[in-house]
Structure 1
Amino acid sequence: MNRKLLILFAIISPLSCAHAESGLASYYGGRGHSGEMTCAHRTRPMGSMVTVKYRGHTIRCRVNDRGPFVRGRVIDLSVSAARALGMMGAGVVKVSLDGS
């Protein structure tokens, strides 16, 4: 019985990284090269790609940092990613995330 649970957990565990979530996003001048579409996320694996949606705009960015460290925010985007998403004027916006 325990072996079956262990196998089930091993199969389901990587899939949990691909879950959808929503919440507040902000942007920052974080790590990475200028112009890169990158982001900071607390739990998604480094190097994984995240699809971020806001008001009809959709971008894909790579997780290369940990954060955000402000309560209630789910992701911090690089300036390039925030500009492509169309959120520069607002600063903090509600987004939906989907990852792989």
Structure 2
Amino acid sequence: MNWNWLITRHTLFSLGWDEWASIFAILTTIVIVVTWLAKKIKKDFLGETNTQLKILNHNMEVKNQHDAKVDKRLNEGHEKFMRHDFTLKDHEKRIKRLEDDEYDNKHH
């Protein structure tokens, strides 16, 4: 098979090196312009949105930290509540027993 059409000293795919240089320059220019436009669009049109999203993200992080603290306090408070509830029930039993004993002593 003859590959001479593919690459020679002066051509690649039947195009001269000066034509390839032109293609490369045009493609490079297109990439640079598209990149510049994308950055400009992001800055000019989406800048305020990005700023608001950053603020929202920060606020959500603060809220999540606060919620974690609240959950921790709630769990600690629930444990205290259970201890106080147990103590209260114990006191109620003792008071009831004392009232019953006093009632029995008055009526006997």
TM-score w.r.t. the length of structure 2 is 0.27
More strand by share: 1
More helix by share: 2
Between structure 1 and structure 2, the one with the greater Rg is: 2
TM-score w.r.t. the length of structure 1 is 0.29
